[in-house]
C-alpha cells in the first residue's frame, strides 16, 4: 500500500502546486487592478480546474475601459512578477531549510511551476503575443525583447534549479516543466489567443 501512495500522492500534489501557482498569478493581476479601483473583490478570481481561461475576473469593466495602456501593462505584468517573487522566495526557503523530503519535493514543484509560468509568458507567449504579453505589445512593442531575454534568464534559472534538486527527482521534474510549459502555451492559444 505504501508503494502505491507516491504514485497517487505525487500527481495530486503536483496538480495542487500548479493550481496554486496559477491562482497566485491571477491574484497578482487582481492586486494591480484593485490598486486602480477596478477589482472590488480581491480574492474572487476565475481559475477553472483545467487552468484554461484563468483570469482575475470579475472586474469592473467600466473602470478597466478607463485605464491607460501603461496601467493595463502594469496589470498584465503583476501576475508574472508574483511568479518571479514566489520562485525566488521558494528557492531561498528550499536552500536554507528543507532537505530531501516530500515537502522539499513539493516546494521544488512549486518553484518550478512559478518559473515555468513566468518564463513561458516571457519567451514562448512573447513570440506571438498571447495572454499577458498582448498588453506589452499594445503598450510598448520594444519591451518584448528585454522581457524575452528575462524569460530566457528564468529558463536558465530553471536549469540551474534542476541541477540543485536530488538526482532521483530530476527526470520527473524536468518532464513536469516541459509538459506544464506546453500546456500553458497551448491553452493561451486556445483561450486567450
Backbone angles phi, psi at 66, to 5 degrees: -90, -5
Give the model's confidence band at 154: pLDDT under 50 very low, under 70 low, under 90 confident, else very high: very high
At 165 the pLDDT is: 87
Average pLDDT over residues 145-161: 94
Provide the mean pLDDT of the chain: 88
Contact 98, 107 (CB under 8 A): yes
User: What's the pLDDT at 2?
Assistant: 42
pLDDT at 102: 76
Q: What angle do CA 14, 152, 150 make, to 5 degrees?
A: 100
Amino acid at each position: 500500500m505504501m508503494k502505491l501512495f507516491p504514485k497517487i500522492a505525487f500527481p495530486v500534489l503536483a496538480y495542487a502546486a500548479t493550481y496554486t501557482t496559477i491562482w497566485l498569478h491571477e491574484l497578482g493581476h487582481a492586486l494591480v487592478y484593485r490598486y486602480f479601483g477596478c477589482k472590488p473583490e480581491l480574492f474572487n478570481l476565475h481559475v477553472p480546474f483545467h487552468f484554461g481561461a484563468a483570469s482575475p475576473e470579475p472586474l469592473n469593466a467600466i473602470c478597466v475601459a478607463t485605464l491607460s495602456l501603461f496601467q493595463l501593462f502594469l496589470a498584465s505584468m503583476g501576475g508574472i512578477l508574483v511568479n518571479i517573487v514566489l520562485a525566488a522566495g521558494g528557492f531561498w526557503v528550499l536552500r536554507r531549510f528543507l532537505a530531501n523530503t516530500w515537502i522539499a519535493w513539493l516546494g521544488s514543484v512549486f518553484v518550478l511551476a512559478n518559473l515555468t509560468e513566468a518564463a513561458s509568458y516571457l519567451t514562448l507567449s512573447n513570440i506571438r503575443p498571447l495572454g499577458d504579453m498582448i498588453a506589452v505589445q499594445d503598450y510598448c512593442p520594444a519591451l518584448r525583447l528585454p522581457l524575452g531575454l528575462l524569460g530566457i534568464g528564468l529558463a536558465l534559472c530553471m536549469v540551474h534549479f534542476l541541477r540543485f534538486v536530488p538526482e532521483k527527482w530530476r527526470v520527473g521534474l524536468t518532464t513536469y516543466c516541459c509538459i506544464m510549459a506546453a500546456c500553458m502555451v497551448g491553452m493561451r492559444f486556445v483561450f486567450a489567443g
